[in-house]
Amino acid sequence: MVSKPAEIAAPPPPEPIVEVKAADAKNMFSEQLTLPDSLPIYRATARRDNDIIHSSIDVRFDWAKRHCLGNITITAKPHFYTSEVLELDAKGMEIKRVEDADRRASLKYDYDGEKLRIQLGRLYTRNDQYRVFIEYVGKPEEAYKGGGSEAISSDKGLFFINHDGKDPNKPKQIWTQGETESNSHWFPTIDKPNERMTVDLNITVENKYKTLSNGLLTGSRSNLDGTRTDTWKMDKAHAPYLVMMAVGEYAVVRDRWRNMDLMYYVELKYERYAKTIFKNTPEMLTFFSERLGVDYPWQKYAQVVVRDYVSGAMENTTASIFGEYMQGTDRELIDVSQNESVVAHEMFHQWFGDLVTCESWANLTVNESFANYSESLWFEHKYGEDAGMHHLYEDMEGYLDEAQTKIHPLVYFRYDNREDMFDRHSYNKGGCTLHMLRKYLGDDAFFASLKKYLTDNAYSTGESHQLRLAIEAVTGEDMNWFFNQWYFSAGHPVLDIAYNYDEATKKMRVTIEQKQEPKEGVPAIFELPMAVDIYHSATNKERKLIRMTKRKQTFEFNAPQKPALVNVDAEKMLLAEKKDNHTEEEWAFMYRNCPKYLDRREALEFLKDKRSDNAKAIVKEAINDKFWAIRNIAIKAFALRDDPSVADKFMGIATADAHSQVRAAAVSKLAATRDKKYIPTFQQVLEREQAYPVIASAMTSLYKLSPEDGLAAAKRFESDENGDLLNGVGEIYAQSADSAKAGELMPFFEKNLNKADGMSAISFIGNYTKLLDKAKLPSTNLVEKLAFLKNMATDQSISPWKRFACAKAINEFRKKYMKDQSFASNLAKMLVEIKQKETNGQLKAVYDNMLP
Ligand SMILES: [Zn+2]
């Protein structure tokens, strides 16, 4: 699964894990003489009493009640011990009938709303199979108690979108989200990742709807009542949480890979863009199949976009689900790498997660670390090593950020809530850890080990132990040292690296110190093998392999003269925080002469704010870097005042750079000079540019230098559909309006309020707020407009960003017009209502601070 790309606010820091230190334990004995009276939390793998072999499910829907009317025939057997009971997960259901499917005889059962305990009426051994028939009604809305996590904001399992058809801006859809244990809201099963079964699913819908599920569509039958029943057969066993269905009015765009069907389900108006939305799907399937030496293991691959999705995307076997943020036109998706990274992530899960499934949620990282790392693998393969490293570096930053407030081992048996496992440890840290493994083992051994892990554990479960054993079998090396520190301990090394050349002995000494605090399961010493490159000159480099095994360790190298640079961790593979004590000359040398993306990135990050000539020279050179993200950093950092001649070069970049983010950065940099001579450049961008963020940047830049021209451009784009453009128009309108004009411009905002979404909703609604204020409306009119925002803020089907933006607008008026008591208390009441209706925990916390 991929979680939502952004968060409203940082989550509250978790409760610290209290470790009993030796010294504390001694104190406890001597002073208090208390001993713990229970074991610490241990999240064990689910015990297997029975094994479901096959489930045959029929479903139809009551849209008005949001019910799933189902029946299921389960073929099962005892796992090992003789049994006369089958216990199933069946959350919030109405159970109508339970029968022995072969004898058509009723069976006794107990049901408490969560577990269905069926008395089978006789003893079965592990060599017997039995079949149970259940008629039920799934009632996800009634059962929903507001669980779920940051990654999966709701765990109802089954979702009806616009079920009453009242929202004209939303299609009617039904879709499911099984991970972690939510599919048992719509069919009874053993809802654990270590269960596996084949499935037949018959979905009955009105004829206008398309359906999708796992495996192949083997039949489609018209019924007398005008409905249609589609039969989906999944004849390879997979885990219950990977079962899915989706129903909606979709365009289904077909593609082929080898002898297999590919399907892209998108909303009708995006039909033309489906292959851009799911960019490079066939090429990725080839790449991953070849890289792993294990062909894509399933019957077909479908990808579907759904509305109001509760997470980012989900790797249901053969049928991944994605949130609507994926949809865009070809122009909107220019240089948007997110689509490819999410497509790669869910696709790689088809091997890591679906073919070999994490045995328990404590072991989630054997699913998510691979899916995360596949994104970098794909970018490296398709766009070069710099692109792969850029992606992985951003992942590492994401983990280091999270590690400031929470750390736990990658394999973590002591979580509070299984949903907490979907964090930047399981994903980002896991991906960075795999990269270290790959660099340590070498590509041949790394991928041969993955092949062995996938082959040995195919259609079964895995833990990190299985991964270690596969590596050990392939390489012949004991790998416990690596797994103990990276998988079963917490944290990461914090390194301080210092250099000293001794003229007398002609020795170069590199001293590396590990400064991480050894607490909460963090090793005092990480064992760190790494490469060190000694640059005697730009053209003469020597590589040494070192292995750090001490808290502080000095490595000595022969050097006839002081090296131009010693590049520690020359492969730039370590997951670590680093303080690398190079001189500015050395950083500059590193930027110019070292081969890796991170060599250039680290050098530039260090030098970009420095004022020395050396530093300025590197920032100027980096404007021409071969990789766009480095150019982007350099352009943003460049001080045009120091070297006005470069500004002319920026005109060329603004119109001709290969990457749209770089072009947009050059445009806003030029605008910051306030020099009118750049007006023609902005006009040129408005005429010829294809990427919307660059056009929006040119439009607001033009307004800064020539309000009249900027306003004219805004008028030109005000009926466009694109969110970036509308945001630019909104910004110009809000700035340009005086109180006379404000009333005229208001309809533009009100017409487009429903289009602004995600992060951009905050600036769009912010600009609307400015305009409302400038308009000086009579207080009753203003309250009416704000009540409209309040309705959006309380509508839980609207994105959290937008709900927040609306609440924020109301609060700003409340604070500004505190003196008008009845007005302010009116708005305070709205905010109370917003808070009461809010279901998102993070937003609730934000509103707590907002309210008086
Ligand atoms: Zn994932």
pLDDT at residue 631, as a whole number = 98
pLDDT (mean) for 418-439: 97
Dist. CA 357 → ligand 1 center (Å): 12
pLDDT at residue 785, as a whole number = 94
pLDDT at residue 27, as a whole number = 47
Tokens representing residue 628 in the block:
């766009």
Dist. CA 248 → ligand 1 center (Å): 24
Rounded CA separation 653/422 (Å): 40
pLDDT at 6 over 80: no
pLDDT (mean) for 368-392: 98
pLDDT at 52 over 80: yes
* Burial label, 618 (beta-carbon count in 10 A; 0-12, 13-18, 19+): buried
Dist. CA 825 → ligand 1 center (Å): 45
Helix (H) / strand (E) containing 73: strand 67-78
List, for residues 795-818, the tens digit of each pLDDT value.
987 888 899 999 999 999 999 998
Dist. CA 795 → ligand 1 center (Å): 28
List, for residues 532-586, the tens digit of each pLDDT value.
999 999 999 999 999 999 999 999 999 999 999 999 999 999 999 999 999 999 9
List, for residues 770-789, the tens digit of each pLDDT value.
999 999 999 899 999 999 99
Backbone angles phi, psi at 654, to 5 degrees: -60, -30
Dist. CA 367 → ligand 1 center (Å): 7
Dist. CA 317 → ligand 1 center (Å): 12
Dist. CA 1 → ligand 1 center (Å): 3
Which carries the bigger pLDDT value, residue 522 or residue 15?
A: 522
Dist. CA 340 → ligand 1 center (Å): 14
Helix (H) / strand (E) containing 439: helix 430-441
Rounded CA separation 271/278 (Å): 12
Tokens representing residue 505 in the block:
């002995």
Dist. CA 494 → ligand 1 center (Å): 28
pLDDT at residue 647, as a whole number = 87
Dist. CA 269 → ligand 1 center (Å): 28
pLDDT (mean) for 426-439: 98
Compute CA distances 48 → 51, 88, 305, whole Å. 7, 12, 35
Beta strands in 280-439 (DSSP E): 301-306, 313-314, 319-323, 356-358
Dist. CA 271 → ligand 1 center (Å): 26
Q: Are 200 and 56 in contact (CB under 8 A)?
A: yes
Dist. CA 369 → ligand 1 center (Å): 8
Neighbouring-strand partners of residue 498 = 511
Helix axes 679-688, 660-672, angle to 10 degrees: 150
pLDDT at 150 over 80: no
Q: Would you report the helix, strand and coil content of the chain in percent, each value rounded to 5?
A: 40, 25, 35
Rounded CA separation 157/573 (Å): 39
Dist. CA 208 → ligand 1 center (Å): 32
Rounded CA separation 330/832 (Å): 42
Which carries the bigger pLDDT value, residue 433 or residue 845?
A: 433
Q: Are 802 and 792 in contact (CB under 8 A)?
A: yes
Backbone angles phi, psi at 512, to 5 degrees: -115, 130
pLDDT (mean) for 683-689: 96
Compute CA distances 820 → 464, 779, 825, whole Å. 63, 10, 9
Rounded CA separation 825/848 (Å): 16
Q: What is the mean pLDDT of the chain?
A: 93
- DSSP SS3 for 611: coil
Q: Are 763 and 730 in contact (CB under 8 A)?
A: yes
The pairing of strands 356-358 and 460-462 is parallel
Dist. CA 194 → ligand 1 center (Å): 17
Start-to-end CA distance of the chain, whole Å, equals 39
Dist. CA 120 → ligand 1 center (Å): 38
Which carries the bigger pLDDT value, residue 152 or residue 595?
A: 595
Dist. CA 349 → ligand 1 center (Å): 7
List, for residues 692-747, the tens digit of each pLDDT value.
999 999 999 999 999 999 999 999 999 998 889 999 999 999 999 988 889 899 99
pLDDT at residue 19, as a whole number = 42
Rounded CA separation 331/112 (Å): 53
Report H helices in 458-596: 464-475, 480-486, 584-593
pLDDT at 31 over 80: no
pLDDT at residue 4, as a whole number = 53
Backbone angles phi, psi at 280, to 5 degrees: 65, 25
Compute CA distances 133 → 52, 96, 189, 476, whole Å. 13, 11, 12, 50
CB proximity list for 744: less than 8 A, separation 6 or greater: none
Dist. CA 509 → ligand 1 center (Å): 43
Dist. CA 326 → ligand 1 center (Å): 16
Helix (H) / strand (E) containing 622: helix 613-622
Backbone angles phi, psi at 711, to 5 degrees: -65, -40
Beta strands in 144-184 (DSSP E): 158-161, 173-176
Task: Select from 390, 437, 419 the least CA-distant residue to 179.
Answer: 419
Dist. CA 256 → ligand 1 center (Å): 24
pLDDT (mean) for 596-605: 98
pLDDT at 3 over 90: no
Dist. CA 445 → ligand 1 center (Å): 25
Q: Are 185 and 143 in contact (CB under 8 A)?
A: yes
pLDDT (mean) for 390-397: 98
pLDDT (mean) for 443-459: 98
pLDDT at residue 167, as a whole number = 87
Among the listed ranges 21-30, 54-63, 305-314, 735-744, which one has the minimum average pLDDT value?
A: 21-30
pLDDT at residue 589, as a whole number = 98
Dist. CA 313 → ligand 1 center (Å): 8
What would you report as the CA-atom Rg of the chain, rounded to the nearest whole angstrom?
30
Helix (H) / strand (E) containing 848: helix 841-850
* Burial label, 43 (beta-carbon count in 10 A; 0-12, 13-18, 19+): middle
Dist. CA 13 → ligand 1 center (Å): 23
pLDDT at 330 over 50: yes
pLDDT at 851 over 90: no
Task: Select from 667, 580, 681 the least CA-distant residue to 632.
Answer: 667
pLDDT at 15 over 50: no
List, for residues 111-146, the tens digit of each pLDDT value.
999 999 999 999 999 999 999 999 999 999 886 554
Dist. CA 431 → ligand 1 center (Å): 11
Task: Select from 271, 242, 277, 278 the least CA-distant residue to 257.
Answer: 278
**pLDDT tier at 431, thresholds 50, 70, 90:** very high
Per cent of the chain over pLDDT 90 is 87
pLDDT (mean) for 390-399: 98
Dist. CA 312 → ligand 1 center (Å): 9
Residue by residue, what is the 3-state secondary structure of 111-137?
Answer: ECCCEEEEEEEEEECCCCCEEEEEEEE
Helix axes 660-672, 692-705, angle to 10 degrees: 10
Dist. CA 346 → ligand 1 center (Å): 6
List, for residues 252-289, the tens digit of each pLDDT value.
999 999 999 999 999 999 999 999 999 999 999 999 99
**pLDDT tier at 151, thresholds 50, 70, 90:** very low
